[in-house]
Structure 1
Amino acid sequence: MSRAKIWWQTLRPRTLPAAVGPVLLGQALVAPGSFSWLIALLCLVCALSLQVAVNLANDLFDGLSGVDQPDRLGPVRAMESGLLSAAELRRGLMLTLVIAVTAGLWLVIFGHWLLWWLGGLSILGVLGYSGGRRPYANRGLGEVAVWLFFGPVAVLGSLLAQQSPIDAEAVMAAVLIGLPVAAILVVNNLRDRHTDARAGKLTLAVRLGPSATRGLFAALTLVPLLVTPAVAHSPWLWAAWGIACVAALALNRKCWRYDGASLNPVLGQTALYSLVMAAWLGVRLVPASV
């Protein structure tokens, strides 16, 4: 395997839609006259860099702590499999964080002062997920953190960067889009619950068990659709809502039917579904906010 392919695999490209959708949704909610293409691009670069950084940090810290073992059911981890060394992963992590901070500095200088706090919180979130003495992912807080950073922080942070006012529709969008993104981690932890329990990593899937975890997945993927039904006078919105519902039900069928390594495709499909949900929330809520 070439070095480029090893690094591309390590970045976990199937998870990247999780970073794209919330930022695009936030940009779609920017008030007329406040939108800047440069700010939108910087928001996207910052979000993608942080997503890649947390993927690299997870590979590095889980490899160092012994959570990743040869019987891992998920995609190959670079450090555990010997494809990349800890030093190489650290350099990759530092590079992605530098990119995120560089893009973020422009945003905080020309955006709202609250972005200083959100940016610092995001960096701590990346490093604290699986790193440090007490990683919060090991205490069942991973899904909550994903909801926070890929929901309120990503969407409302995009609005703050554009100096756009935050209205009720934006808050609703921020709260709801974080749910299907958190569902990606639910699938991941459902798949890994046995090896995580062995390593002492007490994720929600370990604490709740498989049935309750699948119920949580159903709630995270279906609630946004139930809260934002299509309006009766728009057949196009009803069609879009119906397509999103079919996608959600298909994902839930797979989540309940499959287990172990068979859930790997569902993880990527859930990431794509979060992108679909970002598009749906944009179509459904943007007209109400302009």
Structure 2
Amino acid sequence: MKLKYWFYAARFHTLPLSVSGITLSFFISKSRTNVDFITYVLCFITALLLQILANFSNDYGDSITGVDNFKRIGPKRTIQCGFISFLEMKKAIYLFSILSFISGLLLIFQAISCKNIFIFFLYFIGIVICIYSSIKYSIGYNPYGYIVGMGDLFVFIFFGIFSVEGSYFLYTHTLHMDMFLLSLSVGLLNVAVLNINNMRDMDNDCKNKKYTIPVWLGIKYAKLYHIIIIFISILLGCIFVFLNKKTIYQCILFILIIIFLIFHIKKIIYINKKKLFNSELKKLVIIIFLYVLSIGVGFL
């Protein structure tokens, strides 16, 4: 059945990243004020649709440029393997662009009063930018995912600041500095996931003119970059937990996540075969989800 190839193209193992931030801010918002659950559901759906759109676009764009080829170490892509045609994927990209726009529009209608025209317009523009950025990462002339550091920057903004702080405002209609610090922490962890992906594929990316941070720095300094962003993330998370400590269990859960991250860093340091990055990437996605739960559930 072709349906299984569409599930494969959606890369379901990455989807927890898209909903982790909005779920974390929902838990915290719910502990501080009354939150509309429908707003969270629409946030959840919109984030998933945008992530699937980005994954489909990545499959399409990297196949056109030749980055996806049989020398690639990472999981094989559906277009590359002939499971889905270029035309079929292009139609799917159009479909998920429309679905993302409709879901995003319903979200801002639900969460923001039309009387507050400035905030409404700001989020409307935000939805359009999210859709455009999901596609432009690897499609079109000079995609930003092929420019040094731009992929990391956009992941940091969309999976960190937009996901946590942006959804928190939709839930509460307020902004808090501690939530901004937390959004930076979550954003950096998501950048670390991208960095593992880029370290794994750096040789093939370099040959195909995709200039990521690891291609620019080399594997030794790319690992150092990885360690630094994770430690900064931990530090920001510690500050947030210190400012909002409710129970000893919250601290214990957070310490356990730090231990997992330290073991992850140790593994990354000693990896000498690039295909081994695949397992660490999947582990880090799980750790991020546990990180979110350790903080969020502590508030409930």
When normalised by structure 1's length, the TM-score is 0.92
3-state SS of 1:134 partner: coil
What is the CA–CA distance in structure 2 between the aligned matches of 1:18 and 1:237, rounded to whole Å? 21
Structure 2 runs not aligned, ≥5 long: 113-118
Deviation at 1:251, TM superposition (A): 1.3
- The answer for the alignment partner of 1:18 in structure 2 is 17
Deviation at 1:13, TM superposition (A): 0.8
- The answer for the alignment partner of 1:142 in structure 2 is 151
What is the CA–CA distance in structure 2 between the aligned matches of 1:106 and 1:162, rounded to whole Å? 14
Deviation at 1:12, TM superposition (A): 0.6
Deviation at 1:81, TM superposition (A): 1.1
What is the CA–CA distance in structure 2 between the aligned matches of 1:193 and 1:182, rounded to whole Å? 16
What is the CA–CA distance in structure 2 between the aligned matches of 1:190 and 1:255, rounded to whole Å? 10
Contact 1:30-1:159 at 8 Å conserved across structures = yes
Whether 1:238 aligns to 2:251 is yes
3-state SS of 2:142 partner: coil
Deviation at 1:33, TM superposition (A): 4.2
- The answer for the alignment partner of 1:6 in structure 2 is 5
Deviation at 1:26, TM superposition (A): 1.9
Deviation at 1:88, TM superposition (A): 1.1
Deviation at 1:98, TM superposition (A): 2.0
Contact 2:22-2:168 at 8 Å conserved across structures = no
3-state SS of 2:71 partner: coil
- The answer for the alignment partner of 1:254 in structure 2 is 267
What is the CA–CA distance in structure 2 between the aligned matches of 1:151 and 1:215, rounded to whole Å? 21
The C-alpha deviation readout for 1:105-143, integer Å capped at 9, x for no partner, is: 112223242211221221121111111111111112111
3-state SS of 1:81 partner: coil
Contact 2:58-2:138 at 8 Å conserved across structures = yes
Deviation at 1:146, TM superposition (A): 0.3
Q: In structure 2, what residue type is equivalent to 1:57?
A: S
Query: 273-282 vs 244-253, which deviates more?
Result: 273-282
- The answer for the alignment partner of 2:227 in structure 1 is 218
1:156-195 residue pairs with structure 2 within 5 A?
A: 156-195=165-204
Contact 2:250-2:295 at 8 Å conserved across structures = no
Query: 21-30 vs 140-149, which deviates more?
Result: 21-30
Contact 1:173-1:281 at 8 Å conserved across structures = no
Query: 151-160 vs 140-149, which deviates more?
Result: 151-160
Q: In structure 2, what residue type is equivalent to 1:246?
A: I
The C-alpha deviation readout for 1:6-52, integer Å capped at 9, x for no partner, is: 11111111111111111101212326444111110000000011111
Q: Please, which of 269, 277, 280 is the counterpart of residue 291 of structure 2?
A: 277
Contact 2:182-2:236 at 8 Å conserved across structures = no
Query: 273-282 vs 191-200, which deviates more?
Result: 273-282
Structure 1 runs not aligned, ≥5 long: none
Whether 1:122 aligns to 2:121 is no
Contact 1:34-1:164 at 8 Å conserved across structures = no
Identity within the alignment, %: 24
What is the CA–CA distance in structure 2 between the aligned matches of 1:238 and 1:92, rounded to whole Å? 44
